[in-house]
Amino acid sequence: MRQYKKWLLVFIILLLTGCAKPKTLEKIGLVTTKGYDLEKDGKIKGSLVILTVDPNAKQKTTIITTKALTARGNRIHSDVMSSKKLLSGQLRVVLFSEAIAKHGIKPFTDTFVRDPSISDLIYMGIVDGQTEDLLGIVNNQIPDVGQHIYKEIDHNVRWSLIPSSTLHETLQGNYAVGKDPVLPILKKTKNRVRISGVALLKDNKLVGKLNFYQSYYVRTLQSPLKSGAFEIPISGESLGLTGDHLPHKQLAVALDTVLSNPKIELINKENLEFNLNLKINARIQEINADIDLKSPKTIQLLEREIANQMKKDIRKIVAYCQSVQSDPFGLGETYRSSVRHANLNRKKWHKIYPKAKVNVNVKFTIAKTGIVE
Which residue in the set 117, 189, 211, 227 belongs to the binding site for other proteins (CB under 8 A)?
117
Q: CB of 367 within 8 A of CB of 256?
A: no
Q: Within positions 248 to 267, which residues make up the interface with other proteins, using CB under 8 A?
A: none
Minimum gap (Å) between residue 25 Cβ and other proteins: 5
Element (H, E) at 196: strand 192-202
- Residue (26 or 292) nearer to other proteins, CB: 26
Query: Rounded to whole angstroms, how far apart are CA atoms 19 and 233?
Result: 65
Query: Rounded to whole angstroms, how far apart are CA atoms 69 and 138?
Result: 28
Does residue 95 interact with other proteins by CB under 8 A? no
Q: CB of 309 within 8 A of CB of 233?
A: yes
Query: Rounded to whole angstroms, how far apart are CA atoms 212 and 96?
Result: 18
Query: Rounded to whole angstroms, how far apart are CA atoms 92 and 125?
Result: 11
Which residue in the set 62, 70, 82, 90 belongs to the binding site for other proteins (CB under 8 A)?
90
Q: CB of 373 within 8 A of CB of 293?
A: yes
Which residue in the set 69, 76, 89, 367 belongs to the binding site for other proteins (CB under 8 A)?
89
- Residue (37 or 180) nearer to other proteins, CB: 180
DSSP class of residue 20 equals: P
Query: Rounded to whole angstroms, how far apart are CA atoms 299 and 243?
Result: 21
- Residue (121 or 367) nearer to other proteins, CB: 121
Does residue 11 interact with other proteins by CB under 8 A? yes
- Residue (294 or 340) nearer to other proteins, CB: 340
Query: Rounded to whole angstroms, how far apart are CA atoms 152 and 163?
Result: 13
Query: Residue 243 — φ and ψ, nearest 5°?
Result: 50, -110
Does residue 37 interact with other proteins by CB under 8 A? no
Minimum gap (Å) between residue 95 Cβ and other proteins: 18
Q: Which window, 70-78, 93-101, 176-184, 299-307, contacts other proteins (CB under 8 A)?
A: 176-184
Q: Which window, 72-80, 119-127, 203-211, 280-288, contacts other proteins (CB under 8 A)?
A: 119-127
Query: Rounded to whole angstroms, how far apart are CA atoms 217 and 163?
Result: 9
Minimum gap (Å) between residue 71 Cβ and other proteins: 19
Does residue 30 interact with other proteins by CB under 8 A? yes
Q: Within positions 53 to 72, which residues make up the interface with other proteins, using CB under 8 A?
A: 53-55
Does residue 79 interact with other proteins by CB under 8 A? no
Does residue 13 interact with other proteins by CB under 8 A? no
The 330-359 site mask, x for binding other proteins (CB under 8 A), equals ---xx--xxxxx------------------
Does residue 150 interact with other proteins by CB under 8 A? yes
CB atoms inside a 10 Å sphere around CB 165: 25
- Residue (4 or 243) nearer to other proteins, CB: 4
Query: Residue 119 — φ and ψ, nearest 5°?
Result: -70, 155
Task: Reduce the DSSP state of residue 167 to 3 states and report it.
Answer: helix
The 283-322 site mask, x for binding other proteins (CB under 8 A), equals ----------------------------------------
Question: Exposure string (b/e) for 325-358, b if CB count within 10 Å is 16 or more?
Answer: bbbbbbbbbbbbeeeeebebebeebbeebeebeb
Q: CB of 358 within 8 A of CB of 217?
A: no
Does residue 28 interact with other proteins by CB under 8 A? yes
Task: Reduce the DSSP state of residue 361 to 3 states and report it.
Answer: strand
Does residue 171 interact with other proteins by CB under 8 A? yes
Binding site for other proteins (CB under 8 A): 1, 4-5, 8, 11-12, 14-16, 18-26, 28, 30, 51, 53-55, 87, 89-90, 92, 116-117, 119-121, 147, 150, 166, 168-169, 171-177, 179, 333-334, 337-341
